[in-house]
Amino acid sequence: MIRFTTYSLDETHALGQRIGKSFSNAMVIALTGDLGCGKTALVQGIAKGLDISDDYYITSPTYTFINEYPGRYPLFHVDLYRVEHSDDLENIGFDEILMDDAIVAVEWADKLPKDFLKEHLHVCFETLDDTCRKITITPRGSKAVEVIDQLKSMKEIKWD
């Protein structure tokens, strides 16, 4: 596990960009935290790190549930805020995107059934004040540990 503290939206974007650059395999990112804590901001940075064109504006798919963006790896951005039952996951096509060779960023991942995701990065946000966030990244599985190791090797990252 590694922890970061970001002090601005730009720093959260920059952390996301470094995470996106670190991917060398398909990966699921389970994002948890309060409303407005920076989950979408991190995904915007991840998109930049995946070389997704600036022509795509990355927004939370609260009403569409899933947005897809082409990049070095396709990025599926999922928002489960409005999902009420685990049966709804099948209706929105969630299982299908997990089978793709892609990066899948899941906001409100705490709405998933326990142990639903095997291999993933769990990114937990804690709001410290209006602009400051404590971000804890916990790897689940060997590919996720590789991402953490890659992040630790990036000299421009300061972790707590």
In a domain, residue 119? The reply is yes
Position 23 scores a pLDDT of: 93
Q: pTM value? A: 0.92
DSSP-derived 3-state class of residue 159: coil
Report the number of distinct structural domains present in the chain.
Answer: 1
Q: What is the pLDDT of residues 20-61, one digit of tens each?
A: 999 988 999 999 999 999 999 999 999 999 999 999 999 988
In a domain, residue 43? The reply is yes
CATH number at residue 145: 3.40.50.300
In a domain, residue 89? The reply is yes
Q: What is the pLDDT of residues 61-72, one digit of tens each?
A: 888 899 999 999
Cα dihedral 150, 153, 159, 160, rounded to 10, equals: 100
In a domain, residue 127? The reply is yes
Strand partners, 41: none
Residue 17 has pLDDT above 90, yes or no: yes
Position 151 scores a pLDDT of: 86
Residue whose C-alpha is closest to residue 150's, from 38, 9, 25, 6: 25
Domain that holds residue 52: 2-153
Contact 135, 9 (CB under 8 A): no
